[in-house]
Amino acid sequence: MKLTTVGLGYIGLPTSIMFAKHGVDVLGVDINSETVESLNNGCIHIEEPGLQEAFDDVRATGHFKASLTPAEADVFIIAVPTPNNDDEYESCDISIVMQATASIVPYLKKGNTVIVESTIAPRTIDDHVKPFLEHQGYTIGEDLFLVHCPERVLPGKILEELVYNNRIIGGVTPACVDAGKKVYQTFVKGDMIETNARTAEMSKLMENTYRDLNIALANEIAKISDDLHINVLDVIQMANQHPRVNIHQPGPGVGGHCLAVDPYFIIAKSPELSPLIQTGRQVNRSMPAYVVEKVKQILQDLNAVKVTVFGLTYKGDVDDIRESPAFDIYELLHEHLDIEIVAFDPHVKLDFVEKDMEKAVHDASLVLVLSDHSEFKKLTDRHFKGMRHPIIFDTKNVMSQSFDTVDYYNYGNLYTYHTPAKNPQR
């Protein structure tokens, strides 16, 4: 089997590597010439455990090559971004999906399977992709097989979940479903869930909307509990003892190119029927401003000259800052505080990010933890001895151990904050 993947980002590249690892000849296509050059020189451009090693293996076998243009294949997978449009309800921008679809048309032949893995709004396949391909002269389900198979993997565990997660196979026709199953049976060990394209589209959006709403509930309860001087982390832990309750954890907001984006794809289709989903988005989007206000309260009676942000990514142990509330907070701190704001993140390779933790915390009056990187979980008092005022506000509840010389706060005990002694520790 020959396969062409259009889009070599956080999903397209690992998917391509996994097919190549199982003997498929894969051509990975991307419009970014630097990405293509880097891959053909042996270096991946994203951070994911085990991915570089897997890539090295498939390059050595000759089963993967990168290119700026597609080529003929048996299967085409489209795995390109679907950002929000700049409209009232931030609807799904399918322009890149349609451009990717158009790019493969010169290389299509009868009997091919076309799979869209990109997250898309309901009816995108039926109302846009299918008519476009039919206009090229193909009969879907007879001489061309069209499938929506949404990606459902967690960054940090992509290689494992590509294999073991269940896959939704949303075919335009039953024959399309069969064609899609045949492709993924190359390596998937999870169940193949057969459905139509519309249901597959909506199911992916529902997964992420559920999680967004659950986090919104946790964030709102965190605000209320702080106001009432109640430890919200204890509240959630106790509530989750109930066998039918599973409340997520509060945090600095919701980020990434799924949870913070996908609910709008539903909202835009039926704005008058989605008030709950819209409210959840409003709550989670309010969290960066809420965190900044809490930081201002902590600093108000201190002679602060510096705040250090720990983490800019939307989740732990990745380098992905897309839609990251941590990054939003970093920028808001610059807008609202006339002091030095330093970012420290061992996973983000940007010029302004301090790479030495000791330098990052030196003379800071507050360390604000915004990402739950593993590197932050075992830090002790000695790592913060150079601070002007040794205070931590941990919005991710990642530093679970107790401190002796550091004032540690998270959403559970933030209401207990009191201004420390006026003599700063250095």
- φ, ψ (nearest 5 deg) of residue 194: -90, 135
For residue 150, with 0-12 CB atoms within 10 Å meaning exposed, 13-18 middle and 19 or more buried, which class applies? buried
What CA–CA distance (Å, rounded) separates 336 from 406? 25
Residue 359 annotated as catalytic: no
CA-wise closest residue to 311 among 360, 262, 358: 360
- φ, ψ (nearest 5 deg) of residue 28: -95, 125
Among residues 181, 204, 294, 396, the one annotated as catalytic is 204
Spell out the residues 6+ positions from residue 200 whose beta carbon is closer than 8 angstroms to its own. 148, 149, 150, 168, 169, 170
What CA–CA distance (Å, rounded) separates 232 from 238? 10
Cβ contact 180:125 at 8 Å: no
* HSE value, Cβ hemisphere, 13 Å, CA-based, for 365: 22
Residue 176 annotated as catalytic: no
Among residues 21, 130, 258, 396, the one annotated as catalytic is 258
Strands 407-410 and 391-394, sheet pairing = parallel
Cβ contact 371:311 at 8 Å: yes
| Catalytic positions | 204, 258
